[in-house]
């Protein structure tokens, strides 16, 4: 079934002056305009395309990758406003995403970015954006587990940290005192579930926990040493702020990673410097 807002693999069924006609398993066809066609394309080829409605309300396909697909949350820039709503840049040539007035929350200003969820309208089948995430993001039934790697979108900031959308489905919290790198609203990050409470609150971290976290931190130090001619001006006497600025690690993680590299014989260290051992 052809549905707007989704990436689908379709088969070329015929070639026309306007482009390629692609069909799904049920024989439903959609046009892939000449802009996205090459001379090598032929009938029978399978092509991965994104399907959406054009300005004349016809389903059309593109090989471009949108910034947002149905069922996803993202941060998009407002490019225009009308009496009926706003239009957002979602990365498709000549086609902006509609954000109706009824789906807006707070001020929507051209040139600014906003956090939106993309859904397929039940009546028209068109792709529509909404800033009202409550109906789509929920922690009532969780699909994630502690220590699991997850996709995060930073949705808002508070005194204690950042509220994030987890895997486009749930709310989570990224605490400020566990951050050792800059984070901003709209950032899409890879994170890890650190805790799930009895009332279904999800706490996340940008680093893995336990031994895996130490290995990751050791990899970070190793890479930084190689990028800096085998030396880093850091050691046990370095301040947490200096370590975070240079490595994006906490001092605790830094010391554990350094200990692993010392134990393996990969580095030598003084109070103020780490040196990569030049192996013969």
199 and 214 part of one domain: no
pLDDT of amino acid 279: 56
Task: Based on the fold, state whether residues 183 and 227 are members of the same structural domain.
Answer: no
137, part of any domain: no
- 248 pLDDT tier (thresholds 50, 70, 90): confident
Does residue 190 form part of some domain? Answer: yes
Residue whose token pair is 């820039």 = 77
In the predicted structure, residue 30 carries a pLDDT above the cut 60: yes
Domain coverage including residue 79: 73-130
Q: How far is residue 153's CA from residue 22's CA, in Å, rounded to a whole number?
A: 33
Claim to verify: residue 227 and residue 258 sit in the same structural domain:
yes
Number of folded domains that form the chain = 4
Residue 175 lies in a domain: yes
**Residue from 174, 167, 168 nearest 145 by CA:** 167
Residue 280 has pLDDT above 90, yes or no: no
Last residue of some domain: 157, 184, 205?
Answer: 205
- 67 within domain boundaries: no
CATH number at residue 44: 2.40.50.140
Same domain, yes or no, for 77 and 121? yes
Q: Residue 18: inside a domain, yes or no?
A: yes
Q: What is the band of 13 on the pLDDT scale with cuts at 50, 70, 90?
A: very high
**Tokens representing residue 201 in the block:** 């609150």
Q: What angle do CA 238, 242, 248 make, to 5 degrees?
A: 120
pLDDT tens, residue by residue, 87-116: 999 999 889 999 999 999 988 999 999 999
Q: At what angle do helices 240-247 and 251-263 cross, to 10 degrees?
A: 70
Q: Identify the three-state secondary structure at position 70.
A: coil
Residue 228 lies in a domain: yes
155 and 196 fall within a common domain: yes
Report yes or no on 36 lying in a domain.
yes
């Amino acid at each position: 079934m052809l549905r707007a807002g989704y990436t689908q693999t379709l088969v070329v069924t015929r070639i026309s002056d306007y482009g390629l006609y692609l069909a799904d398993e049920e024989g439903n066809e959609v046009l892939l305009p000449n802009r996205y066609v090459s001379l090598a394309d032929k009938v029978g080829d399978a092509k991965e395309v994104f399907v959406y409605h054009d300005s004349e309300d016809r389903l059309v396909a593109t090989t471009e990758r949108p910034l947002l697909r149905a069922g996803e949350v993202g941060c998009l820039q407002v490019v225009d406003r009308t009496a009926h709503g706003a239009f957002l840049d979602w990365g498709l040539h000549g086609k902006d995403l509609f954000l109706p007035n009824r789906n807006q929350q707070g001020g929507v200003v051209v040139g600014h970015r906003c956090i939106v969820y993309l859904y397929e309208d039940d009546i028209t089948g068109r792709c529509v954006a909404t800033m009202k995430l409550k109906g789509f993001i929920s922690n009532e039934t969780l699909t994630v587990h502690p220590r699991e790697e997850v996709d995060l979108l930073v949705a808002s900031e508070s005194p204690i940290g950042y509220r994030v959308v987890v895997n486009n489905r749930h709310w989570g919290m990224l605490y400020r005192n566990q951050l050792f790198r800059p984070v901003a609203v709209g950032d899409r990050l890879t994170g890890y579930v650190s805790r799930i409470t009895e009332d279904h609150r999800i706490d996340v971290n940008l680093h893995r926990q336990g031994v895996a976290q130490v290995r990751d931190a050791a990899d970070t130090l190793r890479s930084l040493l190689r990028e800096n001619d085998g030396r880093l001006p850091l050691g046990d006497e370095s301040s947490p702020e200096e370590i975070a600025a240079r490595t994006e690690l906490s001092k605790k993680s830094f010391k554990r990673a350094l200990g692993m590299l010392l134990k393996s014989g990969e580095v030598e260290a003084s109070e103020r410097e780490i040196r990569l051992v030049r192996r013969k």
